[in-house]
Amino acid sequence: MDFSSIGLFRLVSQRLDWLTRRQDVLAQNIANADTPSYRPRDLRPFAAHLDAATGPVTPAATHPGHIDPVAAGNGAAPSSERQNDVYETAPTGNAVVLEQQMVRVSETAMQHQLALNLYRKHVGMIRLALGRGR
Domain ranges of the chain: 1-53+86-134
Average pLDDT over the chain reads: 80
Tens digits of per-residue pLDDT, 39-98?
Answer: 899 998 888 877 666 666 666 777 777 766 555 554 444 333 343 455 677 777 788 889
Q: Quote the DSSP letter at residue 32.
A: T
Higher per-residue pLDDT: 62 or 108: 108
pLDDT for residue 77: 41
pLDDT for residue 49: 72
pLDDT for residue 121: 93
pTM of structure? 0.69
pLDDT at 4 over 90: no
pLDDT at 117 over 90: yes
pLDDT for residue 99: 92
pLDDT for residue 1: 63
Q: Give the angle subtended at the CA of 111 by the CAs of 13 and 8, to the nearest 5°.
A: 30
Specify the DSSP element, H or E, that contains 107.
helix 98-129
Higher per-residue pLDDT: 16 or 6: 16
Dihedral sign computed on CA atoms, order 49, 55, 57, 58:
positive
For residue 93, the tally of other CB atoms under 10 A from its CB is 11
